[in-house]
Structure 1
């Protein structure tokens, strides 16, 4: 949490990153926008901007002594204690600065939502709540760096609280709620893995940031930073006028916000943009409407203009347009401009129709007035007043949709091991409090994760014989039960791909890459790590070390060259070495190797038969408990069945590429997901 006694770098002194700064300001004006996700490189002033903005605003009024910093001017936002004090006439007010609360990636669910003292509730009949991060962030800013590395269920909790403004904690039948209105700011580096689309969509705004490329602006940034570090107080004082001006603009916008109105025409433009840009659902429409209104208020207007809608679209749709991890980047700005132009044309058509209707009505009235004129005069005047208006045909634009695979949901196997990590594929027991409570057990040592419901049930039969001394229930140490939790974790999917000349036939390599891409899609959804090894010529090469960046894996796969001999045993050994290194670095890794080859090896490492050498290596992999699958790419009329023999030696799932769709391969590979894996004990000796 920020110490406000030190000089904070001024918000208005941040060079560049205008869109990021605008998104942060809009969320302060209107917290109902749903927060902002900032994606991009490190060192681009993300955290500096968040802290500077909080320091920019004046102090806020809070209930003195309240752990939630309740708003004394809003009865609906008061916690239970403040409501009691209000009824008793003991509510006192103080002023404090807005807080920036940091959420570490390692935070547990109890640390985020807070905890209830169940023992106190049982003995005293009173609720005693220990505040968590959400309570601390109330009426402030919750800053989550590397939010893509946070467990999905914690991200869900954050987004739910940010949307509802309330945090509810339920433990063993006891419920407690408190206000949790905050501005959620998440940052992430896409190369370290993406958020799931369902979570991305729930962020109101999103901006992509990168370093400044203009040399003069970079020099300006350096000079500002040197000046600030040399004398922070003087630097801050020099920017005070600009800070005061922006602060006034924000406060004026907050007051003006309820008075802003948006026309039906602008609402139609918002919906038309969402339809034209292929956005799913309706959250984008609603968020774009709120953002447009907030932009109008920030610009000192009570009417929403087309320019507000366009700017809102750039902030609201950037993370909602790419619904698949391998969708190609399109020129979003051109699509947006085209959609706005189409709307203008439709508005012109409506205006023409309206004018035409009014003209016909006017002519009808004139005809009534001319009923007593001579037929010749009526005919002459009508012929002069008639107009020939033909509306322009409205143009429609049809956007191409990229091919995608429909992948069924995986029911993961249950891992017996107690593993750490995060993901969405395999279930595992966990000793951390981040997992879900599923059952209880008798603890063999002291524990801080008591299962209170099970403990009470264990103590209940003995209450008649125990000395209570005024307590409602007596619990002995023998009654203690510990929670058993489970969570989902990802896997390391290591692709070992045959890039030799025998794979050079175009259709075979295309089909093989299609299968890998489908599995990459599945890995993206399950938050797996992936790695890529290619073997050809005389060696095997690790093209991509294990990473969470699925798009990077796709890039290396597409650029993978083909040709030369088939050193298949070297590919398997390289796969083993990569897996062993990962297990030594992270024992909680769940490795899964996918071999894609026709099995026609013609290079050995020690001079013996290539096939026999491969079987020796494969048997060692099987002994080490490394799960695998073999995709047989052999497609000639005469089949040798070598890949099937290798699969048997590996103890792997065997699949042929012929007559199989990529999603069928994925489903079959899923069926062989690892149940449990023992770390390799050593290296190969072939």
Structure 2
């Protein structure tokens, strides 16, 4: 309804009807000036940048004309562009999409030629956070974000199945049954769209806007602007020409939650949850803590980071880069392509001049080959078992992790696996978000046994297919949780380490005390890794 807000991001678990909700929005869009239904364009994950933004018509360019072959953005003009699994798109492509959606125009420039086309569209993306997140600078570009989940009440789930079966049995009859309600909602949106330019927000409410953003730890001014626009859109939807503080607080979660600093505690719920029904009489409920020695999970503690004596000695391993060498960009390459959508102009001209011709033909066309240019990947695997906590080195371990994370470049991605108790878990999936990484490290609990083999197997899964990655393992090596009952935990760990041999690795020995087993060094031998001792500062 208001493209200037910046689009909508839908986050939720798989099977939560994110795509269905996005496609339902297309049915509510007002028709265009020609009276036709507004376009709904689906952007596939495999689309190239030229397919998205469009290309110059090369045949017209050879005749001296500048003409644009429209891409998906131009095709979605006046309608909705939907991107499923937007978190899996390349970052630069997401940036192009958001820029076009915000400006209402798509520009294509190839060397000295440029053209543009209107792209007044609403951008809707959906994603499953379990499959990875968007970089914070791109999250900020989405105006609104809503988190969805499948209902848990049996009656609600049954009604969803009932309606789905009714639609599959008779799509036209199902549409006719709900046609009146859908038409009423579409009409309400069309009226709000006409009213929106007249809606104002009183100047004193700017203080409320800035306070809400500051309390959420949001540094971007874009959030304040979106709050202003979204509150006015909320008022227009209800037929009012003046936005209120109530409108601001209604839209604030949609505007701020995805921009919120992850190091801050979560916001309080807008309404207190209803009390849970009592399942047993009060007199039967225990009112005293269980006696010592009762069954229960082992105690755990969250240690604060402390300064280590020395930083982690990481190496930079990137595609096409060797140890100790500076970054190196691959030389640009081009290939003959008579149907090229993009031209390597120097190579094309060289081909033309080589033939002694004055005008290029399609036989001279050379298409540029993309060069790999990505940051490094560092997987941290941290021992969070009780033995590291008892030795007093968990604080130094966290401090070393935070120090290493702070040194990562903007294009570098890191992931964090911790292991304790009976298994290992991915505490932080591959991300470039330094604030998210810091929050995960600081909140990591400590306690329990040492399932080292489980962690190494999980690390092997995470590193499969990841190029230029480095493994950093922080542990005292005191494995005591086998992979299968009856097997030897240390033998399992050594066997799991063998599957990681060949991956650049650093083993950080966290063992303390007079009697040391030296197992971290043994692990490093199997991994063919470097060894560093972690000492508190």
TM-score if structure 2 supplies the norm length?
0.75
Deviation at 1:320, TM superposition (A): 1.7
Deviation at 1:125, TM superposition (A): 0.9
SS of 1:319's equivalent in the other structure is coil
Deviation at 1:44, TM superposition (A): 3.0
Whether 2:25 is the aligned partner of 1:59: answer no
C-alpha RMSD of the superposition: 4.6
Partners of 2:337 and 2:367 within 8 A in 1: no
Partners of 2:81 and 2:124 within 8 A in 1: yes
SS of 2:332's equivalent in the other structure is strand
What is the distance in 2 between the residues matched to 1:37 and 1:603?
A: 42
1:350 matched to which residue of 2? none
Deviation at 1:521, TM superposition (A): 8.2
Larger relative contact order (Cα-Cα within 8 Å, sequence gap ≥ 6): 2
Partners of 1:496 and 1:593 within 8 A in 2: no
What is the distance in 1 between the residues matched to 2:59 and 2:232?
A: 49
Partners of 1:428 and 1:486 within 8 A in 2: no
1:142 matched to which residue of 2? 81
Q: Quick one: structure 1 residues 482 and 284, their matched pair in 2 at CA, closer, same or farther if it must change by over 3 Å?
A: closer
Gaps of 5+ in 2: 273-303, 484-488
Gaps of 5+ in 1: 1-27, 62-93, 336-401, 418-425, 430-437, 661-686
Question: In structure 2, which of residues 8, 18, 25 is the aligned counterpart of residue 46 of structure 1?
Answer: 18
2:214 matched to which residue of 1? 275
1:131 matched to which residue of 2? 70
Question: In structure 1, which of residues 596, 603, 612 is the aligned counterpart of residue 474 of structure 2?
Answer: 596
SS of 2:74's equivalent in the other structure is helix
Alignment of 1:107-122 (within 5 A): 107-118=47-58, 120-121=60-61
What is the distance in 2 between the residues matched to 1:617 and 1:46?
A: 38
Question: In structure 2, which of residues 100, 106, 110 is the aligned counterpart of residue 167 of structure 1?
Answer: 106
Partners of 1:427 and 1:489 within 8 A in 2: no
Q: Quick one: structure 1 residues 112 and 439, their matched pair in 2 at CA, closer, same or farther if it must change by over 3 Å?
A: farther
2:227 matched to which residue of 1? 288
Alignment of 1:52-451 (within 5 A): 52-61=24-33, 94-118=34-58, 120-121=60-61, 123-321=62-260, 323-324=261-262, 327-331=264-268, 333=270, 413-416=317-320, 439-441=331-333, 443=335, 451=343
What is the distance in 2 between the residues matched to 1:506 and 1:277?
A: 37
| Rg larger in structure | 1
SS of 2:392's equivalent in the other structure is helix
Partners of 1:504 and 1:563 within 8 A in 2: no
What is the distance in 2 between the residues matched to 1:651 and 1:544?
A: 24
Whether 2:360 is the aligned partner of 1:473: answer yes
Whether 2:377 is the aligned partner of 1:491: answer yes
1:230-268, Cα deviation, whole Å (9 max, x unpaired): 322222222222222222221221222122222122222
Q: Quick one: structure 1 residues 548 and 611, their matched pair in 2 at CA, closer, same or farther if it must change by over 3 Å?
A: closer
What is the distance in 1 between the residues matched to 2:381 and 2:118?
A: 48
Q: Quick one: structure 1 residues 411 and 315, their matched pair in 2 at CA, closer, same or farther if it must change by over 3 Å?
A: farther
1:576-603, Cα deviation, whole Å (9 max, x unpaired): x6666667xx545444322223467899
Q: Quick one: structure 1 residues 480 and 306, their matched pair in 2 at CA, closer, same or farther if it must change by over 3 Å?
A: closer
Size of the aligned set, in residue pairs, is 488
2:293 matched to which residue of 1? none
Q: Quick one: structure 1 residues 97 and 274, their matched pair in 2 at CA, closer, same or farther if it must change by over 3 Å?
A: same
2:534 matched to which residue of 1? 657
Q: Quick one: structure 1 residues 268 and 414, their matched pair in 2 at CA, closer, same or farther if it must change by over 3 Å?
A: same
